[in-house]
Amino acid sequence: MHIYSTCGIYYIQENDVSVTGMIDRAKLAKGYITDEYLKPYAIFKSDMKDTYVDEMEICSEFEEGIEKQEFQVFYQPVVDAKTGKIVSAEALVRWFHEQKGFISPGQFIPALEKGGYISELDRYMIEKVTGCLDQRRAEKKRFVPVSVNLSWMDFYDENMLEWIVRGLKKNNQNEQKIRFEITETSLAAIGENHTRMLMHLKENGAEILLDDFGNGYSSFGMLQDYDFDILKMDISFVRNIGVNKKSESILRAIIDMAHKLGIRLVAEGAETEEQAAFLRANGCDYIQGYYYYKPMPEAEFLQLLEEGK
């Protein structure tokens, strides 16, 4: 039996801090350990307390933000690489706080994951996107598939997954056109038992996108075990077009391999004509990036669909 220990350290500098407060600070520092084998300790710093307070405030104000509709769905169009026409979109959440203004997703999403609120946010996003697609369909207006991101924590919430499956069965998925994205890192984190639920979603008509493909060590092993509909290549490959010849060769190989497996590809993060031209020339199916469109409010996105973009 091998036993490892970790330790949070607080140096006593303020005499007015209670013993309980000192222990809390040491515990908080312990949560910042990144490699328990290389460096099994962390020393408390003042900015750790600020981060902790921010996270607590985010979690405490989250439900009120949902009630006040402070969370908005932004859509980033995905275009056909050959024609440049919008063929789908990714739904992205934005928080416009009543007092604090815009709060970055990079700040509130990790906080909601730590606080256990992320599934509630994902549910809110699915409801909003589904409502938009249902309305477009009812009005017989053009709509395209929209992907919603799922957190790894959603797969540990049986109620959440059952709710998603009920929605898939209730609506004709071929018409509703909602997709689910999960990152490669998240897929590795949820483990074999819970990835069965991912396939259960697919069995009930959902299309599954694997995001950030090529970012982790288990990328190709995942393709052996699961049938993904679409791969979204890690943004680092696209950024290296015209810069790193090895990255370009890897990119060509991934495109070729995916097509042989019957999987479509989205290149994310295209910002220049050179990048878009390379992706078109090498047979990439879809492109998502600022070169074509930035994330935008729902009304602006729907206007593009009306214009036939």
Q: What is the CATH number of the domain that holds 219?
A: 3.20.20.450
pLDDT tens digits for range 254-291: 999 999 999 999 999 999 999 999 999 999 999 999 99
Q: Are 35 and 125 found together in one domain?
A: no
Task: Report yes or no on 21 lying in a domain.
Answer: yes
Report d(CA 280, CA 238) in Å as an integer: 12
Helix, strand, coil percentages, rounded to 5, for the chain: 50, 20, 30
Q: Are 182 and 89 found together in one domain?
A: yes
Task: Report yes or no on 168 lying in a domain.
Answer: yes
Bridge-partner residues for 296, per DSSP? 75
- The values of phi and psi at residue 202, to 5°, are -65, -40
Q: Are 33 and 112 found together in one domain?
A: no
Q: Are 33 and 89 found together in one domain?
A: no
Q: Are 165 and 34 found together in one domain?
A: no
Overall number of domains in the chain: 2
Q: Whose CA is closest to 118, among 69, 179, 55, 27?
A: 55
Q: Are 39 and 71 found together in one domain?
A: no
Report d(CA 265, CA 252) in Å as an integer: 11
How many CA atoms does the CB half-sphere of 145 hold within 13 Å? 21
More confident residue, 185 or 124: 124
Task: Report yes or no on 103 lying in a domain.
Answer: yes
Task: Report yes or no on 30 lying in a domain.
Answer: yes
Q: Are 120 and 146 found together in one domain?
A: yes
Q: Are 21 and 70 found together in one domain?
A: no
Q: Are 88 and 210 found together in one domain?
A: yes
| Residue-number span of the structural domain to which 264 is assigned | 54-306
pLDDT at 49 over 80: no
Q: Are 67 and 216 found together in one domain?
A: yes
Q: Are 194 and 165 found together in one domain?
A: yes
Residue 95: pLDDT band by 50, 70, 90 thresholds? very high
Mean per-residue pLDDT for 44-49?
81
pLDDT tens digits for range 75-89: 999 999 999 999 999
pLDDT tens digits for range 12-33: 877 777 888 788 889 888 888 8
pLDDT at 295 over 80: yes
Task: Report yes or no on 1 lying in a domain.
Answer: no
Q: Are 252 and 212 found together in one domain?
A: yes
pLDDT at 304 over 80: yes
Residue 92: pLDDT band by 50, 70, 90 thresholds? very high
Task: Report yes or no on 94 lying in a domain.
Answer: yes
